[in-house]
Amino acid sequence: MSGSQQHPYHLVEPSPWPAVGSAAAFITAIGGVMFMHERAYGEHVMGIGLALVLMTMFMWWRDVVREAEYQGHHTPIVQVGMRYGMMLFIASEVMFFVAFFWAFFDRSFYPAGGVWPPEGIETFNPFDLPLINTLVLLLSGCTVTWSHHALLQNNRRDFITGLVLTVVLGALFTGLQALEYSHAPFGFTDGIYPSVFYMATGFHGFHVLVGTLFLTVCLIRGLKGHFTAEQHFGFEAAAWYWHFVDVVWLFLFVAVYWWGG
């Protein structure tokens, strides 16, 4: 009997990373509980867990890159499955942010004391730094689309240029967000408005940071000659994620900064 593969699917080889990742997440959770309850060595246990999580992410994704780029396991039908997986992941992220918008609208439509924003809260001017950040993020959405289209046309120079600009704009957004927080006239524990504001915009900022790292990895891979017009799901998933981050920020800008302020 022939030992060659007779189907287009990818049957993954046994991997230690699911088990290691689960153990790392458990150690991180235990360390977090110990740290928040001010138990001895809590921060050390949490640090060890986080280090193991990061190691697992690096090693597991390294294996996935090898499967795609060098071993040829990501056939067209396998890529279809990965696209569905990325769509479902983004859908779960949408529902994550829906919770924050729900909390914000619930309190703003039915505020305690009948006033929103609550008395004593000085909100941001939406047409100052928030507007600049909106323009920066929208421009980054244009550059990542330009990069994607350049790759589809086998124009690697514009593909790399667009990716570099996107990464720079993502880092600029994060810097401007940090600058805005440093000038915030309220703290996280100053009431319901500050709490929801920081949770929604803070988690969005975290997603921008993750997306920037995602695109940075794609840039490094692109400089190494990875990705072709026919096979580039890793970069395509990063672009989808970045557009999702763009759309969430537009809702935050309109609902929280402009209307809610």
Give CA separation, 248 vs 207, 245, 251, in Å: 10, 5, 5
Total residues found in the chain within this entry: 261
Alpha-carbon distance values, 258 to 84, 96, 121, 136 (Å) = 35, 22, 15, 17
**Hey, where are the domains in the chain?**
1-73, 75-259
Q: Is 174 exposed, middle or buried (0-12, 13-18, 19+ CB in 10 A)?
A: middle
Are 1-73 and 75-259 equal in CATH topology?
A: no
- Rounded CA separation 89/54 (Å): 20
Alpha-helical runs (H) found in the chain: 17-36, 42-69, 76-109, 129-152, 156-182, 192-223, 233-252
Task: Say if residues 173 and 229 touch (Cβ distance below 8 Å).
Answer: no
Task: State the architecture of 1-73 in CATH terms.
Answer: Orthogonal Bundle (1.10)
CB–CB of 227/234 below 8 Å? Answer: yes
- Residue that is written with structure tokens 């920066």 in the block: 136
pLDDT tens-place values along the chain, 261 residues long: 455 667 777 777 889 999 999 999 999 999 999 999 989 999 999 999 999 999 999 999 899 888 888 888 888 888 889 999 999 999 999 999 999 999 999 988 888 777 888 888 888 889 999 999 999 999 999 999 999 999 999 999 999 999 999 999 999 999 999 999 998 888 888 888 889 999 999 999 999 999 999 999 999 999 999 998 888 999 999 999 999 999 999 999 999 999 887
This prediction's pTM: 0.88
CATH T-level topology, domain 75-259: Four Helix Bundle (Hemerythrin (Met), subunit A) (1.20.120)
